Copies of this chain bind each other. A is one copy, B any other.
Amino acid sequence: MANPIYNRKDRASVNTLRLLAVDMVETAKSGHPGLPLGASPLLYVLWTRFLRRDPGCPNWPNRDRFILSPGHGSALLYALLCVCGYGLTINDLKEFRRLGSKTPGHPERDVTPGVEATTGPLGHGFAMGVGLAMGERAMGERFNRPDFPLFDHFVYGLVSDGDLMEGVVAEAASLAGTLALGKLIYLYDDNHMTIEGATDLAFAEDVRARFLAYGWQVIVVADGEDLVSLHLAIENAKANLEKPSLIICRTILGAGSPKANTPKAHGEPLGPEALAKTREFYGYGDKPPYFIDERVANNFTDRVKAFEPYRLKWEETLSLYQTAYPEEAQELNRRLAQKLPDLGPSLDFPAGAMATRVASGLALNDLAKKLPEIIGGSADLGPSNKTELTGLGSFLPLTPAGRNVHFGVREEAMGAAVNGLALYGGLRPYGATFLSFVDFLRPAIRLAALMRLKSIFILTHDSLGVGEDGPTHQPVEQLASLRIIPNLTVLRPADAFETAALWPVALKIDGPVAFILSRQDLPVLRPEEYPAVLTGPAKGGYVLADPEAEPQAIIIATGSEVSLALAVQKLLAGQKRIRVVSLPSWEIFAAQSQSYRDEVLPPGLTKRLSVEAGLSFGWERYVGQNGQSVSVEEFGRAGQAAAVFAEFGFTPEKVAARLLGLFA
């Protein structure tokens, strides 16, 4: 194989990217010039010689994906999107970091065409890319047929030392190695410089040896300016389909600027003087800002154009596929369009008691049979979370059709990989752990919420009911911690029927969802006695049980505390007329009409008691100033669940006393 040829036109193109990026930072008076100056050669080679994408069709399903994990290098990405024809104009570049522009400070998926994922919190780009590569494999395994390689692309990314220091990257890299994700290729912008100084102040490890230990292929490019070596490295990475590849590229932070190789080059404009010197260094000393040589402009256009046939060929393949495999094609179209088929009737549950985690597992398994797009797993708690898809196999290198992902004890990478799977298209991913450990994946949930990804998080063992495992495992503040995340829908069903009713609701929500489920058995609310249990949950909150005459007080409860509320209603039946409202989702209830909400919680009925085994924080909005909350305001304690509940006041007698207190 002859070496690839790179010439002066290529060099000029690389330098144009550099200068566009630093010009943007200068205009914005804010941003990060150091990364673009150092890493432009890496992305130039990748974007002009390898990245099979089509600016005219930026969401083509079989495109190569590209993730800029160090999102602070956004100026370089925007410069690329501009010269490659993704619809960003020079004017857009001049609006860099301005309110309402198409070029925000960090890449945002919904704002800029060609941006695959919102990045900025270090490590998550890397880890979402692992999810994208899992998506490629899962979709390819389901839909590819001989001569019909519908899903057959690579996932590329740029990653930084900041990414590689983050724990989520360690988790994701180990997972990618275990899964042998050979289509994943990351270029490491190894510039030996961090904000506090030389990288080895804090990061003395041997990155190459570490990634080899994870089961990756590692390729070293000694000089990040060497376009031919970069090209050959990417070729070698592509050739190894058995292992993910890390290409370590030695670069210089702020290369070509007077601040090169110092932390000062990282995160602030160069300033007019240093910028002038940088422009001179790259041979454009006599040119104005945002200058693009015609030859350079044409070079980008030509190079990008050369990838178009891949998309056209794919469209042709898809068209033939529709004839050859009509059923698969139909399923593919449905899944890519995010349409749900008829899900059939909800599950029935016998009278008795069942943990909502168990009911959720039954509902999930039922849905997974009808929806082949469902894929997911747990952070090594599958048997406890009840998230195992029976009979659907494990998603492993030798069994890529399996739909149970073993994420390992890696909650944060699980969250990020679920986000990557959701970004991929055609899949409905979920991830599970104990509610108490949701703190570990919070950064992933925030990104899911920011992008409104349809990621589903299943969080079991949701309260003091965890019992013996004690305060480290008993959630107290976690429910509130999720309710406060914008765009996230939190669901805490009261029993098996509510759980089954909420699963289809969850699948239809345009954003991430968190199921909050009990470890312990809860009484099954049979529809004969509680007809509202079938239709009420979809409204987020509803009247579960009313007294015969007009109610004098309301108990508002969620999850396991709903049956406690019913017990109190019965206990006080002779004394007080109590309405029991089940409020499985604050977000869905808040989205109902004012009149519906007033029907459930009549403004005049101010004697209200919330009962939830978690903080009262935020409950004021439902109980009002005359109401009260039965809640948990401190960390829990180890003990048998019943004893712990009693200790914190969660018995019918104690709650009844609190309710009667409202009348005192």
Contact = CB atoms under 8 A, between A and B. Distances in A.
Interface of A: 28, 30-31, 71-72, 97-101, 104-106, 108, 118-123, 161-163, 165-171, 174-175, 177-178, 194-197, 200-210, 212-215, 263, 378, 380-384, 394, 396, 406-413, 436-437, 439-440, 442-443, 446-447, 449-450, 467-473, 476-477, 480-481, 483-487, 615, 617-618, 620-621, 624-625, 633-635, 637-640, 643-644, 647
A213 B214 CA distance: 11
A23 to B, nearest CB: 16
Contacts of A202: 175, 178, 380, 406-410
A441 to B, nearest CB: 9
Contact of A97 (B468, B620, B621): B468
A538 to B, nearest CB: 24
A201 B396 contact: yes
Nearest to A445: B439
Contact of A167 (B101, B170, B485, B617): B170
> Which of A72, A122, A436, A469: most chain B CB closer than 10 A?
A469
B380 A99 contact: no
A36 to B, nearest CB: 16
A470 B178 contact: no
Given A175-B202, A202-B406, A384-B195, A120 B162 contact: no
Which 4 residue pairs across A and B have the least CB separation, nearest first? Answer: A167-B167, A99-B639, A170-B170, A120-B472
B108 A471 contact: yes
A213 B215 contact: no
Given A167-B410, A486-B476, A644 B99 contact: yes
A607 to B, nearest CB: 14
A166 B165 CA distance: 13
A648 to B, nearest CB: 11
Given A104-B638, A468-B105, A409 B162 contact: yes
B99 A640 contact: yes
16 contacts: A121-B472, A165-B410, A166-B167, A166-B410, A167-B167, A175-B202, A177-B204, A195-B381, A196-B383, A202-B406, A206-B214, A439-B443, A477-B484, A477-B485, A617-B617, A618-B618
Contacts of A383: 195-196, 263
A348 to B, nearest CB: 29
Contact of A409 (B166, B449, B486): B166
A486 B618 contact: no
Contacts of A380: 162, 165, 194-196, 202
Contacts of A485: 477
B203 A408 contact: yes
A52 B403 CA distance: 50
A637 B99 contact: yes
Nearest to A442: B439
B215 A469 contact: no
A105 B436 CA distance: 15
Contacts of A644: 99
Contacts of A105: 467-470, 473, 638
Nearest to A200: B178
Contacts of A477: 484-486
A259 B209 CA distance: 37
Contacts of A480: 480, 484, 617
A228 to B, nearest CB: 29
Nearest to A382: B196
A396 to B, nearest CB: 7
Contacts of A31: 468
Contact of A104 (B406, B470, B615): B470
Contacts of A208: 213
A194 B383 CA distance: 11
Contacts of A470: 97, 104-106, 108, 120
A440 B437 contact: no
A471 B120 CA distance: 9
Contact of A634 (B98, B263, B486, B620): B486
A471 B484 contact: no
A119 B194 CA distance: 32
B195 A121 contact: no
A340 B480 CA distance: 36
A437 B121 contact: yes
A638 B201 contact: no
A206 B446 CA distance: 32
Contact of A196 (B210, B378, B469): B378
A384 B624 CA distance: 42
